[in-house]
Structure 1
Amino acid sequence: MPSLLDAGRAGGALLLAPGVYAPQSDTYLLQDAIAREDLPRGAEVLDVGTGSGALALAAARRGARVTAVDRSRRAVLTARLRAVLAGQRVRVLRGDLLEPAAGRRFDLIVCNPPYVPSPHRLPPRRGAAVAWDAGPDGRAVLDRVCDGAAGLLRPSGVLLLVHSALSGVEPTIERLERAGLRASVVRRASVPFGPVLRSRTEWLERRGLIAPGQREEELVIVRAHRP
């Protein structure tokens, strides 16, 4: 089995079980968004699709009480181990998206979901691509989060969501507002295509999702709050 030790962001080593999504530009954008939130100590935070646990740890370091969820056993193991090594208390649950948190209410929900448009009609059920493939329009997971997050937020609670503009920004805003939240884009950043998008440029061009020759995507942070 490959080693759990992998290179991390500047500031130390990153423990990753094989197949667990490594923090990338989208993770770091969301970390910065968390840092900008006015979180009282002891705030209840939910990290949906925690992967490596990077966002859960960012919130825990703010003094929040953090619950992290992932359906991958390896991700759950990784997040738990990283929390122990970081000396942070994070409750890590295994389950599908928002389901393990049903019946609870949070001050902040953060989510970096799979959002990459894929030639395959259905998202994969196993393998590394689970962390990024999200159906032909990239919204197979996004829409579920948009529809369900409001029911888990306290009044004045906030959802922070990151995804690619290739998946459609307006559909995200509209869906969140239909769920009773007030939503807007608070951050945009252009980043070069990674290996997955580079391998799909012809398909993306045929679908009209990118312009001919386009090799950058725009990432957005959507912030939605419950009135």
Structure 2
Amino acid sequence: MTSTALTSGTLPGGLVALPSVYRPQADTRLLAATLAQEEVGPLTDVLEIGTGTGALALHAARRGAATVTAVDVSWLAVVTARMNARFHRLPLRVLHGDFAERTRGRRFDLIVTNPPYVPAPSTRLPPRGAERAWDAGPDGRLVIDRICEAAAALLRPGGVLLMVHSGMCGAEATVDRLTGEGLSAGIAARATVPWGPVLRSRRAWLERRGLAGAGEKREELVVIRARNT
């Protein structure tokens, strides 16, 4: 496990983002830095779950992956990722819809995902708006747990899942869920970043839930790496 520098050198520049589409931030950069340590080549089939601007999918394509499939529930994100792929002249297959439905019957060598993970008062995922990119239920795990459940079926033998999320969601809980699905899992990278505006706006609620200490101003990010042995 490493503490990874949050550099943007591994991400393509010049990305556009339509309104409500999540732009690459500290979590994206941490995941990209971890992805840079994985072998990606002409025999690697890659899946990105929740692609947003397509930044991570484009990074994998630029490294010469055999195929890169990107999925997002937001049509605006799908259009954005397709625009960025065309601008950078990189081959992406960008699909709209639920990742489990759109990838049924397929398996991949590498899965990368920056799912919604911010704890939110609602017990349901937002149906629309920018919040779809980050709100994920009272414990922040509504999407994380679905990915954990599906990972083993989506990965080929030896395939790797890289998933970034907040330490508030419980890094060990994610490791335990993935291990329970038969994968070998652990924390690959950590970084600490200042709270953004969404967390600051929910401070009182987060403190009442016991997800944040009084006066806390920094958030730990973790990248979980799981391998299908």
Q: TM-score category by the smaller chain?
A: over 0.9
Deviations 1:98-147 (A, max 9, x none): 32111111100001000000112222111110100000000010000000
Structure 1 counterpart of 2:5: none
Match of 2:74 among 72, 75, 81: 72
Structure 1 counterpart of 2:209: 207
- 1:8-19 equivalences under 5 Å are 12-19=13-20
Give unmatched runs, 5+ long, in structure 1.
1-8
Structure 1 counterpart of 2:126: 124
Cα distance, 1:33 vs structure 2: 1.1
Cα distance, 1:40 vs structure 2: 2.8
Aligned length in residues:
219
Give the structure-1-normalised TM-score: 0.94
- 1:62-141 equivalences under 5 Å are 62-64=63-65, 65-141=67-143
Residues in 2 aligned to 1:114 and 1:165: alpha-carbon distance in whole angstroms: 13
Q: Report if aligned partners of 1:98, 1:149 keep a CA contact under 8 Å in 2.
A: no
- 1:2-41 equivalences under 5 Å are 12-41=13-42
Residues in 2 aligned to 1:121 and 1:76: alpha-carbon distance in whole angstroms: 25
Give unmatched runs, 5+ long, in structure 2.
1-7
Residues in 1 aligned to 2:100 and 2:27: alpha-carbon distance in whole angstroms: 20
Q: Report if aligned partners of 2:191, 2:221 keep a CA contact under 8 Å in 1.
A: yes
Question: Structure 1 counterpart of 2:122, which letter?
Answer: H
Cα distance, 1:151 vs structure 2: 0.2
Question: Structure 1 counterpart of 2:96, which letter?
Answer: R
Question: Structure 2 counterpart of 1:106, which letter?
Answer: F
- RMSD in angstroms over aligned alpha carbons? 1.2
Match of 2:167 among 165, 168, 184: 165
Deviations 1:151-204 (A, max 9, x none): 010100000000001011111011101111000001000000000000011111
SS of structure 1 residue aligned to 2:36: helix
Match of 2:200 among 198, 217, 226: 198
Q: Report if aligned partners of 1:48, 1:98 keep a CA contact under 8 Å in 2.
A: no
Give the structure-2-normalised TM-score: 0.93
Question: Structure 2 counterpart of 1:36, which letter?
Answer: Q
Percent identity over the alignment is 57
